[in-house]
Amino acid sequence: MSPKSRIPAPDPGDTWVPRPRRRETPLGILRHAATFLGSSVLGGVLLAGLILPAAGAVGLGAKSGAESFESIPDDFKTPPLTQATQIFDAKGGLIAKVYERDRTVLTAEQMSPLIRRAQVDIEDARFYEHGAVDLKGILRAVTKNAESGAAVQGASTLTQQYVKNVNVEMAGDDPVAVREAQRKTLGRKIQELRYAIKLEEDLTKEQILTNYLNITFYGHQAYGIEAAAQRYFSKSAKDLTLPEAAMLAGLVQNPSQYDPKLHPMAAQKRRDTVIDKMVENKHITADQAKEAKAAPLGLNYKDPQNGCITAQAGTGFFCDYVRHVVKQDPVFGKSAAERKKLWDTGGLNIYTTLDPDKQAAAQSAVSTKVYVTDPVSAAMTMVEPGTGKILAMAQTRPYGLEKEKNQTVVNLNVDSGMGGGIGFQPGSNFKPIVAAAALEAGLPPTQRYDSPNRMDWPTMKTCDGTWKNLSKGKKDGTIPNESTREVGPYELKEAMALSVNTYFVQMEQEIGLCAVKQMANRLGVTAKASGDPLQEVPALGLGTQEVSPLTMANVYATFAARGNYCAPLAINRITTVDGKDVPVNPVHCDQVMSPDTADVINTVLLGVTEKGGTARDLRLDDDRQIAGKTGTTDEKKSAWFTGYTGNLAASVWLGSPGTKVPMRNIRIGGQYQAEVFGATGPGPIWQKAMSDAVRSMPEQEFTTVYIPDPIKRDPGCSTSGGTPSSVTCTGTPNPGSTGTPAGRPRANNPSGGNPTGRSAPTTPPDPEDQ
């Protein structure tokens, strides 16, 4: 048989002739047929067949028909079908399967021959014998339906059914368009016939059958034979047995009526009907049929698993972030409509940057240190320095829509435009950005300011003018340090370790707000998490403008990478189901500050985790070198710790995303806390997650610089008078000061102090509140 769908020579049976043995006269049958035409779409088929000449099986011939053919789009033959997209982690593990329609397109060779034979035998047994229009089938159906007085037999060919399915597929999720595609009208039937005739000219029968098996609906959200085989039998379509293939083939006529889960008896009866058809058409033997009918349905059903809500191990938020990336990044399409089509059409394998081990470490930390029923929540992001790859993204409250289970779909780790909220004030987490701007402006690492305990907000230069304090002398016009004992002068290293507010305000004054904003922009803080622009006000440097954990993790990753900023990256590679690469954004990095500046910042932030620093207790299990910064906002409504090793940066936020709960006299993770600070709330979460995350990573120490320890201030020294940068109180070096580069002493370093590698405890500093 020729693979092309050519109409064979006219057969006597193709022209209906009344036969004397019929009980009905020709006039009687036509009368029944006319009645049937008024209520059945088969009337449209018959009328269309009468309108079309006999040669219509291979072409309309008329000018209007030719013009109609010319209007048929080229891609109608094999339209892009909506398929499932699979999202994988960095080690190839499946994160989630997302789809508008669950479908995996197969080639003919990837399908069991049994399902191909079964589908033809039950749907259109003469498929390989007729063209687009089966005149014999039409007349047989009209006669049978006329005799019964009801529509008991159809006459659409498998090719026509394929055309109808294509029309429904192209209608998408538009209910009006779907209804229009399914309307049983003469005009619709004629259009389907025109398309079917053209398809039979351009495609082989095997191609049409393959397309049909990929597009048709089998119930339970399964489109196409592969999804159906996986749904009902948890196996691939190429592995279907005879009874399994017969059951699936029987579903197509009415997936609800023959649903094997809801109506197993009806499904089995329909399966057996298909098996009988296969015997009738000599595709299986009677013995094979007997054995197949004796088999149970044998379902191994798997519920539809769709969307990020099905993601395991807390990866739902990262999955949702990937969705936003695909729908917003111009690399995936010039317009929003193009990008949406790419995502909705699916058929993609998306290989992401998510490291399953680090994700597990982060998820365990935010879940065990903060309970889902607590009045506050935690969120944590890990980023790889030097690449921007997002390695983990976790939060306490699970991804989902059930509020009574404390679920949410708001990703607290990211900005609102990427599925997050409006962000959170980072507090003192922002101060290293001020320091980086100052160092880039030429200030030395030993920069000293008088840093009074409280001061008026000073006048500051902005990018476009000057900011002036209109509330001098009033409470809202002043800025205090956390403790009354915090009175300068201070140098950068000590001011960062103690998080002295007035020191960084005076630093802002000297370099100007524009320099701070520009450095923030270069580090990826281009706007607030809400999308609103950063405001050039003095409080900017103290972290009063809302950001996300992803943003802060990436800022500190830039420090770890010695000033090399890399844009956040979630996707390594994308391929289509047939293995073709889809272009993705490569790693994009820029040197946004000198390595020398970054080395100073790293040295200074090492001091935060050492003796006297606000995070002095946050050591990792292997005691490797760490740097970081605490942050706590007014009224303890948000607390942060962002820290890093030489090869991994992570930011943890703790607080209430909605009601802004003050974290005083509060139980978090089963532990009572009188007052939460960056080192006591998010700090232990960071410590637990990072200890697990770096366990298999090589130790990578920072390049540090020599910064002399501050000279001990003479208690009698006056800090009044003079400009902030000109204060010169003299005295003696701090006892035990070595003037060596900063960094926690190592246990294996003989000069490193006590054998634990830890500095001796001192009177703890007061935590900061900004």
User: 244, 111 in Cβ contact below 8 A?
Assistant: no
- Answer yes or no: is pLDDT of 740 > 70: no
Lowest mean pLDDT: which of 13-27, 574-588, 648-662, 745-759? 745-759
Reported as a pLDDT band with limits 50, 70 and 90, residue 390 is very high
- Cα 711 from Cα 261, distance rounded (Å): 80
- Cα 318 from Cα 89, distance rounded (Å): 10
Reported as a pLDDT band with limits 50, 70 and 90, residue 19 is very low
Reported as a pLDDT band with limits 50, 70 and 90, residue 361 is very high
Rg for the chain (alpha carbons), in Å? 36
Q: For 421-578, list the strands marked E by DSSP.
A: 448-449, 454-456, 460-461, 466-467, 478-480, 490-491, 564-566, 571-576
Two tokens, residue 656? 């209430």
- Answer yes or no: is pLDDT of 634 > 60: yes
The more confidently predicted of residues 52 and 245 is 245
The more confidently predicted of residues 16 and 644 is 644
User: 690, 645 in Cβ contact below 8 A?
Assistant: yes
Q: Which pLDDT score, from 0 to 100, does residue 299 have?
A: 97
Two tokens, residue 332? 């995936």
Prediction pTM value = 0.77
The more confidently predicted of residues 153 and 611 is 611
pLDDT in tens, 543-564: 999 999 999 999 999 999 999 9
C-alpha angle 246/247/252, rounded to 5°?
A: 100
Amino acid, single-letter form, for residue 685: I
- Answer yes or no: is pLDDT of 77 > 50: yes
State the average pLDDT over residues 745-756. Answer: 34
Q: Which pLDDT score, from 0 to 100, does residue 72 have?
A: 62
Q: Which pLDDT score, from 0 to 100, does residue 730 have?
A: 42
DSSP 130: S
Lowest mean pLDDT: which of 15-29, 153-167, 555-569? 15-29
Q: Which pLDDT score, from 0 to 100, does residue 610 have?
A: 85
**Cα dihedral 410/413/416/418 (nearest 10):** -90
State the average pLDDT over residues 561-573. Answer: 97
State the average pLDDT over residues 235-257. Answer: 97
Q: Half-sphere exposure of residue 38, counting CA atoms within 13 Å on the CB side? A: 6
Lowest mean pLDDT: which of 134-143, 245-254, 592-601, 750-759? 750-759
Closest CA to 101 of 289, 345, 319: 345
By percentage, how much of the chain surpasses pLDDT 70? Answer: 80
Taking the CB of residue 129, how many other CB atoms lie within 10 A of it?
14
Lowest mean pLDDT: which of 6-20, 263-277, 320-334, 594-608? 6-20
- Answer yes or no: is pLDDT of 128 > 60: yes
Query: 461-482 b/e with 16+ CB inside 10 Å = b?
Result: beeeeebebeeeeeeeeebbbb
By percentage, how much of the chain surpasses pLDDT 90? Answer: 63
Lowest mean pLDDT: which of 143-147, 316-320, 632-636? 143-147
State the average pLDDT over residues 520-542. Answer: 96
Q: Is 72 exposed, middle or buried (0-12, 13-18, 19+ CB in 10 A)?
A: middle
Reported as a pLDDT band with limits 50, 70 and 90, residue 507 is very high
Lowest mean pLDDT: which of 345-359, 417-431, 724-738? 724-738
Lowest mean pLDDT: which of 401-405, 693-697, 734-738? 734-738
State the average pLDDT over residues 518-542. Answer: 96
The residue whose two tokens read 């956390």 is 482
Q: Which pLDDT score, from 0 to 100, does residue 482 have?
A: 84
- Cα 694 from Cα 622, distance rounded (Å): 9
Q: Which pLDDT score, from 0 to 100, does residue 49 have?
A: 42
Closest CA to 412 of 381, 375, 447: 381
What is the residue-averaged pLDDT of the chain?
83
Two tokens, residue 207? 């191609």
pLDDT in tens, 440-464: 999 999 999 999 999 999 999 999 9
- Answer yes or no: is pLDDT of 151 > 80: no
Say which residues have a Cβ less than 8 Å from residue 546's Cβ, sequence separation at least 6: 422, 423, 424, 425, 528, 529, 530
Lowest mean pLDDT: which of 177-181, 228-232, 379-383? 177-181
Q: Half-sphere exposure of residue 405, counting CA atoms within 13 Å on the CB side? A: 8
Q: What CA–CA distances, in Å, run from 550 to 224, 302, 372, 414, 437?
A: 40, 36, 21, 6, 21
The more confidently predicted of residues 483 and 686 is 686
Closest CA to 434 of 532, 505, 500: 505
Q: Which pLDDT score, from 0 to 100, does residue 168 have?
A: 85
Q: At what angle do helices 41-51 and 186-202 cross, to 10 degrees?
A: 60
Two tokens, residue 67? 């013009």
With left for phi above 0 and alpha for psi between -120 and 50, is residue 636 left, alpha or beta?
Answer: left
The more confidently predicted of residues 319 and 19 is 319
- Answer yes or no: is pLDDT of 3 > 50: no
